[in-house]
Structure 1
Amino acid sequence: MEFDWSPEYIELVQVVHEEIRVPKSFAPYAEGKQFKGYVDGVEVDNRVLLLDPYSIEGQNIIHFLVSGTELQRINEKLGSSHYNKGTMEFKLVPQSEVVKNSFEFYLVNEETLVQVGTTVKASWDSTFGANDEIPFEITFFDENRNLLKDVRYGFFLIDQDTGNVIFSNVGDDSSNLGILASEGIDIQKITLPSQKTYRIDIAVFGQGITYDTTYAGIGSGLIEVGPGGLQPITSTPPPSNEISIPDWVRNNAGWWSDGAITDNDFASGLEFMIRENIIKVPTTSNGQSNENAIIPDWVRNNAGWWAEELISDEDFANGIQFLIKEGIISV
C-alpha cells in the first residue's frame, strides 16, 4: 500500500490498519496459530496482530494494527533512507500451533448489578506462566456473539490471597478514559510473579467516540498461573499421496511472491503444470472462469512461505485449490 514515511507525517498518524482475509480451512492461518508480523521487513510487536475468527463465517481475519509509536520505531530501525520509500509492505510468517487457556464472564451494570449484553473472553498461551510476559487476548462480544468494536475498557489484576491490586491499566489518554479495542479484540502483555490464582476485573466504560454506555459494565474472572517455560505443541499433518509438487516449482512460487513475475504468468504456469501432471493436487471442481479475478494476498503469502519451506506441500496445494474453485486458473 502507498504510505508516507516522512517523520512529519508519522507524528500525525495514530494507527495504520490493514487486514488479510483467508478461508478457515487454510491451515497456516487457522485459529490457534501464532504469527510473526513484519512491516517493511521489520518485525512488529505481537500486539499489532489480531486474529478475528468471529466476524465472517468461513473466514479468518488477521488484522495489522500498527500504532504511530510502532511506525516511529520502524523508521528509526531503517534510517533516513526509508523516509522516501512511499509504500508499506506487510508480511506474516506462521509459527507453531498453541493450546490456549481461556474463560468467559458477563458484565453487570455497576450500580444496579443487572447483567448487560457484554461477554468478555480472556485467553492466553498455556506455555506461559509465572514470571513470563504473558500476552493476554481480551475479546468483547455483544448478546448476539458479535464483536463489540471501538470499546473503551480498563482492567485490574488482583492477588486472590492478599486482595492487593498488582497491576492495572485504564489507558494512558487523560482526555479519553480506557484502552481502545477498535476491533473488539485487544492484547495486553502482563507479567504475573507467582504460581497462584489471580482475579482480573474488567470494566467497559463505553463504546465509540460518544462513550455509548449500552454495553458498559464490570465483571471478573480467575486466572490460574502455572510454572511457565513449557514448550509449544506442534503438529505435522500426515502426508497426502494425492499431492506431488517438484521442488523446482518453489522457485516460481518465490519469484511470484516477491513480485518478479505477474499474477497471470504465475496462474498460467500453474495451469500448465497441473494439466501436464507436473503438479498433482486433490481433485477440485473448476469455478466459473474469471479472467479479471485478483489473486488474494494470502495466496501470495502462502506461495512465499512454501518457497521458504515454512509450510507443507498440503498447505500450498490448498491455495492452488482455492484458485481453481474461484476460476482464477482452469484445469
Structure 2
Amino acid sequence: MISKTSTLSIFFFIGIIPFLPLVHAEPSISIIMEQTTYSYCEKLFYTIEVSEVTGDPAIIHISDESGKGSSAIPIAITGLQNPIPSLIPFEAEIFPLGKYLIDVEYSGAATSAEFELIESDSICIPELIKPIMANWLSGNISDGFLLDAFQKYVDIKLVNIPFEINEDNVYDVEVPEWVKNIGYWWLEGAISDDSFSNAMNNLLERNIIGFPEKIENEI
C-alpha cells in the first residue's frame, strides 16, 4: 500500500514537470568554403550552415598565421544556409600571404575553416580609390585630385599617368565630362578593373585626359 506521503510526493513531482525549463540541444554549425586558395584581387566567399535558426547572430573572427585578427564580426543567421560574400578583394597592402583561419561561434556551437592566400601576378585598383571616385563623380573634388590619387595609390602597371601632378598644376588637369560614365560603370561593378584601366590609359595616351593647353598646341 502506498503511503499518503508517497502519493503526495509523486503528485508534486508530476505537477512541476510542465514548469521545468526546456533544454534544447546545441545547434550544429559548419563552414562551407567556395575555395580554399585565394590570390590578390579575389574576394573571399563562404557559407555558414546551421542546423536551426535560433535568433542569435553568428560571431566571426578571421586571423592570419601570426594570430593577428579582425574584431568580432556579427552576422545575422536568417536561414539554414547563409552565404557570406566579402565586399572587398584581397589587397597586398592589407593582407600578407599565408594561411588564414575563420572562427565562427553560434548559439554555443563553434567551428573553424582555413584558407590560404598565395602569390600571383594579379593587380587590382585599391578599394580606397572608390570613395575618391565617388567624390569626383559628385563634383566634390577636381579632376586633378582624382588623377593625383591614381598616381599615388594605383599600380603604374594598371594606370600609367604620363605627367607629374603637383600643387602647381593639380587644378589645370581636365577630364572630359563624358568620362564620368566610365567611372560610374566601374564604381557599380559593370566593368572590371582591367577594362576601366585600359580605357583610362587610352584616354591618357591620346591626351584626352590631361592639360588643355597641351592638347591645343598639338592640334
Query: TM-score, structure 1 length as denominator?
Result: 0.22
Tell which structure's C-alpha radius of gyration is larger: 2
Indicate the structure with greater strand content.
Answer: 1
Question: Which structure: greater helix fraction?
Answer: 2
